[in-house]
Every structure is written in C-alpha cells, then in structure tokens.
Chain A
Amino acid sequence: GQQLNQSPQSMFIQEGEDVSMNCTSSSIFNTWLWYKQDPGEGPVLLIALYKAGELTSNGRLTAQFGITRKDSFLNISASIPSDVGIYFCAGPLRGGGADGLTFGKGTHLIIQP
C-alpha cells in the first residue's frame, strides 16, 4: 500500500520560531491533507491541497502540494505554545476514489520555554 514518510519525527523549538515539516510518498497523490492532533483527541483538519503546485495558507500555517505530486510541506510561522501537538499528513489510499486515507507517522512538535 501507499506509505507516507514524514520528517522530522519530532521538533524541539522555542516559542516564536518558524517550523517546517514535510511529507513524501513513493506514489502520486491527488490530494494532500494536513491534520493536527492533540493528546486524547481526534485529528483536526488544518489545510487541504487539491492541485499540484498549490500553495495554501490558514493563518500562520502554509502548505504546498509538490509539483511531482509525491510530496508536500507544512510551515508554521512564529510558533506559539498552542501549536504543540502531532502533525499528520494524509492522502487517499488509492487514486482519487472515496475510500480511506493513509497517514504518515506524524511530526511531534514540542515548544521549549
């Protein structure tokens, strides 16, 4: 099945710093989704990308759909304490159908005081 590789696995940053994380796949994706998950909660959708090359922002978050359709990145500018959590990239398991999503293993963001 399709696998998504996220890097880095974890990030230790200071408040106010910018953050960059990415996600790669061996297969082409038609959609890239970025989610954030807090402990004990379900993932919350941050940004959805539908076209190769698309660059989309949501407040301090910016995500891009790679031109090759095999990668995506998420940037967070001027991090704040509530940005702490696990960030997952996800894409459709197969093609553009309505079946489930496959997820990466996540990037754990930790903000040091």
Chain B
Amino acid sequence: DTGVSQDPRHKITKRGQNVTFRCDPISEHNRLYWYRQTLGQGPEFLTYFQNEAQLEKSRLLSDRFSAERPKGSFSTLEIQRTEQGDSAMYLCASSPRFAGSFTGLGETQYFGPGTRLLVL
C-alpha cells in the first residue's frame, strides 16, 4: 500500500501528558499537511511542510503543539500538556509538487487514516 500512513491509529492519554503522532506521506509527495477534525466538523488546517520547511501554521496551532519533518520525509506532531479539548482526530495529508505553471495539482491532498486522540 503506497498511501499516507499514520501511527498510532488510536491514543488514549491523561490530561497533562505529552503525545506524539507520526505521519508517513506518499513517497513522491514533497508537501505534508496536518489537520484536526472534531465531531460533526470538517477537517481544520493546522500546519504544512514543503520538504523539511514548515511554511505555515494556523492560529489553531497553540504553543503546546509542535510539528517537525526533519528529513523531508515523515513528520511528527507533538502535543505537550494535553487538555481535554485536544480530543479529536488528527489527520495527515500529502500532495505532489506543482508541475511547472499552476495547475492546481499541488492542492490535491491525499489523507491518511488519522489518529484518534482521547484525553481523559
């Protein structure tokens, strides 16, 4: 299977603990995105990487959240001092680079299965 993979699929933690999630994108995709999804809502953008560079963070990404993509391949998302409000599905997506002039292909994002976090 050559799709986006995420690990773990489920995580239960106690409030105040740190958690780390991993995402492995589709191998030829140089862009990687993190989203959060709560019940009844669509995914909400958190941050994205082009290769190893983190190019944008949304206001949803508080200072307790940090994401890395050290070698431009897999990425990790860490949440420190988890709160009950952090309970959500965390989704990773990847997309291919633009091919020459803008075609919109770079925005065609392919999602992983997600990591469901429950903070007790």
Q: Do A and B bind each other?
A: yes
Q: List residues of A whose CB falls within 8 A of some B CB.
A: 4, 30-31, 33, 35, 40-45, 48, 50, 88, 90, 92-93, 96, 98-106
By CB atoms of chain B within 10 A, which of A30, A90, A99, A102 has the most?
A: A99
- Do A100 and B104 touch (CB < 8 A)? no
25 contacts between A and B (CB under 8 A): A30-B107, A31-B108, A33-B109, A40-B114, A41-B113, A42-B93, A42-B111, A42-B113, A42-B114, A43-B43, A43-B111, A45-B108, A45-B109, A48-B108, A50-B104, A96-B102, A98-B48, A98-B50, A98-B95, A99-B48, A100-B45, A101-B45, A102-B42, A102-B45, A105-B42
A101 to B112, CA, bound (A): 15
Residues of A within 8 A of B93 (CB): 42
Within the complex, which residue of B102, B103, B107 is in contact with A33, where a contact is CB–CB below 8 Å? B107
Residues of A within 8 A of B98 (CB): 98
Interface residues of B in 22-69 (CB under 8 A from A): 31, 33, 35, 40-48, 50, 55-56, 58
A89 to B23, CA, bound (A): 23
Instruction: State the Cβ distance, B115 to closest chain A Cβ, in Å.
Output: 10
A-B contact count (CB 8 A): 81
- Do B41 and A48 touch (CB < 8 A)? no
- Do B104 and A103 touch (CB < 8 A)? no
Q: List residues of B whose CB falls within 8 A of some A CB.
A: 4, 6, 31, 33, 35, 40-48, 50, 55-56, 58, 91, 93, 95, 98, 102-114, 116
Residues of B within 8 A of A43 (CB): 43, 91, 111
- Do A93 and B45 touch (CB < 8 A)? yes
- Do B45 and A42 touch (CB < 8 A)? no
A40 to B117, CA, bound (A): 11
Closest A residue by C-beta to B35? A100
